[in-house]
Structure 1
Amino acid sequence: MALLLLATAPRAQGIDAPNVVPVTELLVTSGQPTADALSRLGAAGFQAVIYLAPSTVHSAVQEEPALLAKQGIEFVQIPIPFATPSAGHFRTVTAALQRLKDKKVLVHCEVNMRASSMVFLHRVVTLKDEPASAFAFVTRVWSPRGPWRTLIEEQLRESGIRFELL
């Protein structure tokens, strides 16, 4: 039953984007939504969008802030260079997610690698969710490598969380 709900949720939420992953009723991660999808987020109940890629990535929708503002949706951009994610980026993302915790939020980047990884860390380090079930949402998109794997392992270790990444 849960798999059926997850498989149909992106369509129900009207998000035309790569790698849409509903995490909870109030939290969804994805790659870059189309301009049309961004213009319909308010109708789908979204109240905030956290964008984790620099505006210079090839798939960025330059009018994203304006499209969201027209709908009364809060836009937060935390540009994380893909090759150099940091603990500071994680702290900034988790602070934004904590502030928006009672709102329906889309966290997105280019293809949902940054977003899925940062949301995983937020869920496990800040919300104390069980790591294996939280990591399953990441592995729907990718298996973190390089600096992303290093960041995740460091943050887990610093938080005293024992979990072996796949």
Structure 2
Amino acid sequence: MRIDTLLGGLLIAIAALVAAPARAEAPSIQAPNVVVISPAIVTSGQPTAGSLAGLAAQGFKAVIYLAPPTVPDAVADEGEIVRRQGLEFINIPIQFGQPTDADFEQFAEAMSRLQGQKVLVHCQVNMRASTMTFLYRVIKAHEAPEQAYQSVARVWSPEGPWKRLLVSQLQKAGIAFEPY
């Protein structure tokens, strides 16, 4: 066997071993549009009941659900599934067609209180969750809007009432950024 072939195989094996821990730390959540924001914040669409039941084992401490519990794809006993694991469950039932300043204020308060803990923020498809998390990251955590918005853009481009809420909240905070 040639030495360059042997070294090539060895380098591939080492690369696989180095990459393995990174893959193992990614959350295992079956849901639409899962976006890992940081080690402490993950956003997604509606997780399956099985995924919700495994959150504590992945180090999550809280779930913030941003859709009304009556939406068609809601997990009926989500709060109970989450609480049984010792996690905090918060439901802020944002009407998709009418997000309000009060919705953002309630979300920001919850996120501030949970700061430093691993949190899953979800809704139905990660539109509410990605947008509210972006606003929190930029307005309260003082992250660069250009960087934080990439997590929203992976899921959608807010329009209508969501774009108005984004622009309004950013203006109130004195942040110059135009969502695309």
- TM > 0.5: yes
SS at match of 1:83: coil
**What amino acid is the match of 1:87?**
D
The whole-number CA distance in structure 2 between the counterparts of 1:71 and 1:120 is 27
Aligned with residue 13 of structure 1, among 23, 27, 38: 27
Quote the Cα distance in structure 2 between the aligned partners of 1:10 and 1:151.
36
Structure number with bigger Rg: 2
1:137-161 deviation digits (Å, cap 9, x = unpaired):
0000000000000000000011110
The alpha carbon displacement at 1:165 in A equals 1.1
- Tell me if 1:107 matches 2:126: no
- State the AA in 2 paired with 1:153: V
| AA of the residue aligned to 2:101 | A
Return the alpha-carbon distance in structure 2 between the equivalents of residues 81 and 44 of structure 1: 30
2:167 to 153, 157, 162: 153
SS at match of 1:13: coil
2:68 equivalent to 1:54: yes
| Corresponding residue number in structure 2 for 1:132 | 146
**Change in CA separation of 1:85 and 1:101 when aligned onto 2, cut-off 3 Å:** same
Aligned partner of 1:90 among 89, 96, 104: 104
**Which residue in the other structure is 2:38 paired with?**
24
Letter in 2 for 1:49: V
Give the superposition deviation at 1:9: 5.8
Q: Deviations over 1:94-148 (max 9, x none)?
A: 0000000021000000000000000000000111100000000000000000000
SS at match of 1:161: coil
Structure 2 CA distance, aligned partners of 1:12 and 1:23? 11
Answer yes or no: is the 8 Å Cα contact 1:10–1:21 preserved in 2: no
Tell me what 1:66 maps to: 80
Q: Structure 1 pair 147/37, CA: closer, same or farther in 2 (3 Å)?
A: same
Matches of 1:25 and 1:100, distance apart in 2: 14
Cα 1:10–1:116 change in 2 (3 A) is farther
Q: Write out per-residue CA displacement over residues 51-110 of structure 1, whole angstroms, 9 at most, x where no aligned residue.
A: 000011111001111111111010000000000001110000000000000210000000
Q: Matches of 1:69 and 1:164 in 2, distance apart?
A: 38
With the length of structure 1 as denominator, give the TM-score of the two structures: 0.93
List gaps (5 residues or longer) in structure 1.
none
Q: CA, structure 1 residues 11+113, in 2 after alignment: closer, same or farther (shift >3 Å)?
A: farther
Q: Share of identical aligned residues, percent?
A: 50
Displacement of 1:12 in angstroms is: 3.3
Give the whole-Å Cα distance in 1 for the aligned partners of 2:129 and 2:26.
21
- Counterparts of 2:96 and 2:23, CA distance in 1: 28
